[in-house]
């Protein structure tokens, strides 16, 4: 890992750790990626091969950039429960304001409703603004994904009212229309 994470290979709160991916995460990650409830607002669940390939890509992104969608672990039990983190969105993706850095999450359904997503997302935002010195961070999801929008609001993000059609989803797909949220460095630091 690069930057501050060279010295400390993870970010940590009282309950949670954001860290690099490990081989031992793959089975649990495949289980959550195959769960129709977890993947309700994604085009389709992933099989084991697709899930493992995604985990490898996320691991490489962290190694190359010093940040990414980190594996999320419960400190008390050392249990992998999903991912939370930051991701580069490049120009040409059709996402408004790209290139940019987005924040995102995906947790096993058994760990929903416990405040883990906002708690871990706040760790990632703190890293984005204090260590990476980013000016702003975005998040986007299907208009139908109200649970993720609630997490965005809990961490201080504002709806930009710039809904858009996600280019990776075909015309007429129920998830195609997306909302875009943003938080600035100034707003984040003022909230501390």
**Mean pLDDT value across residues 159-171:** 92
Cβ partners under 8 Å of residue 45, min gap 6: 33, 34, 35, 36, 38, 39
**Mean pLDDT value across residues 21-43:** 97
Instruction: Look at the block and give the residue holding tokens 């408004």.
Output: 96
DSSP state of 162: -
For residue 94, pLDDT over 90 is answered with: no
CA nearest neighbour of 87 among 113, 61, 64: 61
**What are the C-alpha distances in Å from 192 to residues 16, 74, 160?**
19, 24, 22
Token pair of 64 as six digits: 């190359």
Residues 16 and 119: beta-carbon distance below 8 Å: yes
Q: What integer pLDDT is reported at residue 93 of this predicted model?
A: 86
* Mean of the per-residue pLDDT values of the chain: 93
User: pLDDT tens digit string along 12-31?
Assistant: 999 999 999 999 999 999 99
Percentage above 70 pLDDT, the chain:
95
Give 3-state DSSP helix, strand, coil % of the chain, rounded to 5: 35, 25, 40
**Mean pLDDT value across residues 158-182:** 93
Structural domains of the chain, ranges and CATH numbers in brackets: 3-190 (3.40.630.30)
Helix axes 116-126, 146-154, angle to 10 degrees: 50
Kindly provide the residue ranges of all beta strands, DSSP E only, lying in 56-176, ordered along the sequence.
69-74, 79-89, 100-107, 136-142, 158-159, 164-165
* Residues in the chain, overall count: 192
Query: Which pTM was predicted?
Result: 0.93
Q: Out of 53-62, 85-94, 147-156, which region has the weakest mean confidence (pLDDT)?
A: 85-94
DSSP state of 111: G
Q: What integer pLDDT is reported at residue 8 of this predicted model?
A: 54
CA 145 – CA 174 distance, rounded (Å): 11
């Amino acid at each position: 890992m690069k930057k501050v994470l060279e010295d400390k290979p993870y970010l940590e709160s009282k309950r949670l750790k954001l860290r690099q991916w490990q081989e031992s995460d793959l089975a649990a990650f495949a289980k959550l990626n195959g769960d129709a409830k977890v993947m309700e607002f994604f085009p389709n669940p992933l099989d084991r091969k697709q899930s493992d390939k995604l985990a490898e890509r996320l691991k490489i992104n962290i190694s190359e950039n010093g940040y990414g969608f980190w594996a999320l672990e419960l400190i008390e039990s050392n249990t992998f429960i999903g991912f939370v983190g930051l991701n580069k969105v490049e120009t040409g993706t059709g996402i408004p304001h790209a290139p940019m850095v987005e924040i995102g999450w995906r947790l096993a359904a058994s760990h929903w409703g416990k405040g883990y997503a906002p708690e871990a997302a706040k760790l990632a935002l703190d890293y984005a603004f204090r260590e990476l010195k980013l000016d702003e961070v975005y998040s986007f999801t299907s208009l139908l994904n109200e649970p993720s929008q609630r997490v965005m609001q809990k961490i201080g993000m504002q709806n930009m009212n710039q809904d858009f059609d996600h280019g990776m989803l075909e015309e007429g797909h129920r998830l195609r229309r997306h909302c875009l949220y943003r938080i600035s460095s100034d707003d984040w630091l003022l909230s501390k």
